[in-house]
Amino acid sequence: MSQLPQLIGAALLLLAYALLQTGRLKGDSVPYLGLNLVGAALLAYDAVRAMQWGFIILECAWCVFTLPNLVRALKREH
């Protein structure tokens, strides 16, 4: 199996975290939440392919918790 989704997902989550920690992004911003959602979704996809239930639960929960905040942030911008 290709590890590309896993590597991209992890890179996106780490990028979001690094940008947050260095003050370049706010935790409620569309870019931060978007990076988190896409990164977690890619990791969830890879976890499903490998049937790794702990990671499936973790990454799906990450998506579920991030999505409403992303929707609110998108509404704020429009």
For 4-40, what is each residue's pLDDT tens digit?
A: 999 999 999 999 999 999 999 999 999 999 999 999 9
Q: Which residues contact 22 (CB under 8 A, 6 or more apart)?
A: none
* Cα 56 to Cα 7: distance, rounded to the nearest angstrom: 16
**What ranges do the domains of the chain cover?**
4-77
User: pLDDT at position 1, please?
Assistant: 62
* Cα 38 to Cα 78: distance, rounded to the nearest angstrom: 21
Which residue's structure tokens are 């990454």?
Answer: 59
Mapped onto helix, strand or coil, the DSSP state of residue 26 is coil
User: pLDDT at position 78, please?
Assistant: 86
| pLDDT for residue 68 is more than 90 | yes
* Cα 20 to Cα 34: distance, rounded to the nearest angstrom: 13
